């Protein structure tokens, strides 16, 4: 993902410069196919694979080799990261390892380790994986399970720790150049496959270090001749102090504050570099004397290989000469890599400025944290493309300034990016449908132009947007501001479409949509003709297919047929009306949806025909049906509740008021006498009811009489039905 951020962003800048501003660009990409990291990885991979191929069975000797490698790995990689209060694991005390694993479950303990060494978790996990494998293999050997598969599985599980051990013992025996080149070639191929998936254009010229070694030797000779390089024991170093003291030269122009940063300087020199004989700690290698186990080429100083920084200077100079307009890369390369490149190039060419502009892209952070393997927030391009499309990734980067830190998060992708994509998709879909409909209807009648005040206002806004868009890109490629201009123009055009209805001037809307599509394709968000509306053509197995050209004539005929059937059914209103309209709805909601066709019924009785991704249509239809079903269910539940309430009230009215105060409607003995209407006069002992009791009984009797009359009326209605 860090590569995606860097190269997609640089591709966007390249497209803006060429496709928008119209500059001629010669884009050169340098491939470092030999350096300290590549040498180590290739050599170790080769030694482990060779060791693995020799294992025909699990033996005590193999287990001893794995355990000794584990011990060395723990002492060199794990112990250094342990808090000082912990008892170091020395390897002689393997029984203490499980206790250390238990400590690792403590978050505070782990964080303390990561403070001491950010790669601690990676090293600890590799050691633990190997420890478990050796324990399991020991158990299998005791139980006579010693097959070749078991042996090679042990090697696979212990690969990381065996790599260091084997390299220490046998690394000097690896001299075949093809071993190093094959690793670089493999990852170069994977890199370009990922770049093409991300829609990153290929470079105009591609250079590889191993193809330019003679030119590098000549370049280093030139630096020495000009007084800025010196040889020490077969290596050649750049004299930073001599360069810094020379008139017209300054060392570390890009990051002068990092000038004495030993950590950055050491990282720039590589893990295999020897610092002996340098005049200054800031001096860097132009040519490295090759040690046993490293690729080498002949030079005036003996067998050796290029330093890292000199590679880019020589290859770029070979293609572009003694000056280039733009040099790009990640911000982490500013010092020492790009500063060293500039110094050695200016020392060789004798020029005050080898590069006119540096474009350093910002870092990528994942959910607020810098991406790293040790933090386990490392995401590969393949993994991210399984979740999001290349267009969505590019949109995410476009919403950020090219030189700013990008915080890549779930909320960014599912919020701003997804909403913007949906907004643009919907806009293009509607405009294409309107244009297609206008073409099908043919020219309007003479004297029926529709270019009024609303159209003039929208056209003025369009021209203002074009100016604002250009100003944003002139302002250090401010793509977030440029996207805001497009988003605002889409919003204003949608308002115009909604407000004008059948009176709209489609040509104005079409011009705006075409231009917006051109700008999006300029950013690399799609490919297509300059006159095309939208992101670009869809690609199928048969190549580019214009669905609209192929399908629209048939869809318009089908839609016209449906319009006619609906008009007849609505106008005549006979007994077939319901069935005919149901067939029309089935055509719209089922048959055409499965073909990716949307019919939007309009006020004039005609449907707007739109081509939309089938999955989107089916999702929208299902959601609409689910909402309708939920609404119907709620309505039915409400009606049932009302019916139940009504039945309860009716059931209460079943009893005639004359009987309501007599058993069994009241307990036996509640009252002892009643008047002719059944209203109680005396209580259980013959005592007269109080005035208040009599008043309540009379009111209850009246309410019951009313309820009983309603019940009798309902009963008559039911009998009549």
What distance in Å separates the CA atoms of residue 279 and residue 243, rounded to the nearest whole number? 13
Residue 625 has pLDDT above 70, yes or no: yes
- Burial profile 635-662: b = 16 or more Cβ within 10 angstroms, e = fewer: eeeeeeeeeeeeeeebeebeeebbebbe
Write the DSSP string, 680-696: EEE-TTSPBPPHHHHHH
**Least confident piece of the model among 34-38, 194-198, 213-217, 388-392:** 34-38
3-state helix, strand, coil in the chain (%, to 5): 60, 10, 30
- 10 Å CB burial of residue 415 (0-12, 13-18, 19+) is exposed
Mean per-residue pLDDT, 6-20? 97
- Asked if residues 42 and 183 have their Cβ atoms less than 8 Å apart, the reply is yes
Mean per-residue pLDDT, 1-20? 95
pLDDT digits (tens, 9 = 90+) for 662-689: 888 888 888 889 898 889 989 888 888 8
Residue 445's pLDDT band (cuts 50, 70, 90): low
Residue 306 has pLDDT above 90, yes or no: yes
The token pair that represents 401 in the structure block: 């300034």
- The per-residue pLDDT for 538 is 42
- Helix (H, G, I), strand (E, B), or coil: what is residue 6? helix
Q: Which of 378-392, 534-548, 578-592 has the highest mean pLDDT?
A: 378-392
Residue 175 has pLDDT above 90, yes or no: no
What distance in Å separates the CA atoms of residue 79 and residue 70, rounded to the nearest whole number? 12
- Asked if residues 512 and 487 have their Cβ atoms less than 8 Å apart, the reply is no
Residue 721 has pLDDT above 80, yes or no: no
Whole-number Cα distances in Å, 532 to 170, 392, 528, 552 = 62, 21, 7, 15
What distance in Å separates the CA atoms of residue 417 and residue 107, rounded to the nearest whole number? 34
Q: Give the CA radius of gyration of the chain.
A: 41
What distance in Å separates the CA atoms of residue 560 and residue 609, rounded to the nearest whole number? 10
pLDDT digits (tens, 9 = 90+) for 394-414: 999 999 999 999 888 888 998
Mean per-residue pLDDT, 479-503? 94
- The per-residue pLDDT for 584 is 80
Residue 563 has pLDDT above 50, yes or no: yes
pLDDT digits (tens, 9 = 90+) for 455-490: 999 999 999 999 999 999 999 999 999 999 999 999
Nearest CA to 69 out of 177, 158, 194, 192 is that of: 158
Residue 577 has pLDDT above 80, yes or no: no
- The per-residue pLDDT for 119 is 82
Residue 540's pLDDT band (cuts 50, 70, 90): very low
- The per-residue pLDDT for 272 is 64
Its pTM surpasses 0.95: no
- The per-residue pLDDT for 539 is 41
């Amino acid at each position: 993902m860090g590569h995606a951020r860097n190269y997609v962003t640089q591709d966007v800048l390249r497209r803006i410069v060429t496709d928008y501003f119209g500059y001629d660009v010669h884009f050169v990409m340098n491939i470092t196919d030999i350096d300290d990291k590549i040498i180590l990885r290739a050599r170790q991979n080769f030694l482990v694979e060779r060791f693995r191929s020799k294992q025909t069975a699990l033996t005590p000797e193999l287990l001893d080799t794995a355990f000794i490698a584990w011990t060395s790995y723990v002492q060199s990689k794990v112990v250094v990261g342990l808090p000082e209060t912990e008892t170091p694991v020395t390897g002689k005390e393997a029984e203490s390892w499980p206790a250390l694993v238990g400590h690792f479950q403590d978050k505070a303990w782990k964080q303390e380790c990561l403070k001491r060494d950010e790669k601690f978790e990676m090293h600890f996990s590799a050691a633990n994986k190997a420890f478990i494998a050796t324990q399991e293999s020991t158990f299998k050997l005791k139980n006579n399970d010693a097959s070749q598969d078991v042996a090679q599985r042990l090697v696979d599980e212990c690969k990381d720790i065996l790599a260091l051990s084997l390299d220490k013992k046998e690394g000097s025996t690896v001299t075949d150049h093809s071993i190093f080149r094959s690793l670089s070639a493999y990852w170069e191929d994977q890199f370009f496959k990922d770049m093409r998936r991300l829609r990153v254009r290929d470079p105009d010229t591609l250079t590889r270090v191993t193809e330019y070694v003679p030119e590098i030797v000549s370049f280093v000779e030139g630096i020495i001749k000009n007084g800025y390089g010196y040889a020490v024991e077969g290596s050649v170093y750049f004299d930073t102090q001599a360069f810094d003291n020379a008139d017209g030269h300054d060392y570390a122009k890009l990051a002068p504050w990092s000038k004495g940063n030993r950590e950055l300087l050491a990282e720039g020199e590589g893990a295999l570099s020897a610092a002996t004989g340098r005049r200054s700690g800031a001096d860097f290698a132009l040519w490295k004397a090759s040690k046993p186990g490293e690729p080498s080429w002949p030079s005036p100083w003996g067998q050796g290989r290029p330093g890292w920084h000199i590679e880019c200077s020589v290859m770029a100079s070979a293609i572009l000469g003694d000056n280039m307009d733009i040099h790009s890369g990640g911000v982490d390369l500013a010092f020492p890599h790009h500063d060293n490149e500039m110094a050695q190039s200016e020392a060789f060419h004798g020029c005050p400025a080898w590069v006119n502009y540096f474009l350093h892209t910002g870092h990528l952070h994942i959910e607020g944290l810098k991406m790293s393997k040790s933090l386990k927030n490392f995401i590969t391009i393949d993994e991210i493309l399984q979740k999001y499309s290349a267009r969505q990734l590019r949109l995410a980067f476009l919403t950020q300034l090219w030189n700013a830190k990008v915080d890549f998060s779930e909320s960014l992708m599912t919020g701003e990016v997804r909403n913007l994509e949906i907004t643009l998709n919907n806009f293009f879909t509607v405009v294409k449908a309107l244009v297609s409909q206008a073409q099908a209807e043919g020219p309007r009648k003479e004297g029926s132009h529709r270019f009024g005040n609303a159209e003039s206002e929208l056209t003025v806004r369009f021209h203002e947007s074009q100016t604002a868009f250009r100003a944003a890109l002139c302002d250090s490629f401010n793509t977030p501001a440029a996207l805001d201009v497009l988003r605002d123009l889409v919003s204003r055009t949608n308002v115009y479409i909604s407000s004008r209805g059948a009176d709209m001037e489609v040509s104005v809307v079409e011009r705006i949509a075409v231009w917006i599509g051109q700008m999006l394709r300029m950013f690399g968000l799609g490919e297509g003709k300059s006159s095309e509306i939208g992101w670009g053509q869809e690609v199928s197995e048969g190549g580019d297919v214009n669905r609209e050209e192929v399908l629209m004539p048939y869809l318009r005929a089908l839609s016209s047929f449906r319009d006619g059937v609906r008009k007849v059914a609505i106008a005549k209103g006979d007994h077939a009306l319901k069935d005919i309209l149901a067939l029309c709805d089935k055509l719209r909601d089922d048959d055409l949806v499965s073909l990716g066709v949307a019919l939007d019924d309009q006020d004039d009785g005609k449907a707007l025909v739109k081509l939309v991704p089938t999955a989107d249509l089916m999702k929208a239809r299902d959601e609409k049906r689910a909402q309708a079903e939920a609404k119907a269910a709620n309505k039915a539940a409400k009606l049932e509740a009302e019916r139940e309430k009504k039945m309860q009230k009716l059931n209460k009215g079943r009893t005639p008021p004359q009987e309501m105060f007599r058993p069994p409607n009241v307990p036996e003995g509640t009252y002892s006498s009643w008047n002719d209407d059944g209203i109680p006069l005396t209580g259980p002992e013959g005592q007269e009811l109080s005035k208040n009791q009599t008043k309540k009984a009379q009111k209850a009797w009246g309410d019951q009489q009313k309820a009983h009359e309603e019940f009798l009326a309902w009963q008559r209605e039911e009998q009549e039905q």
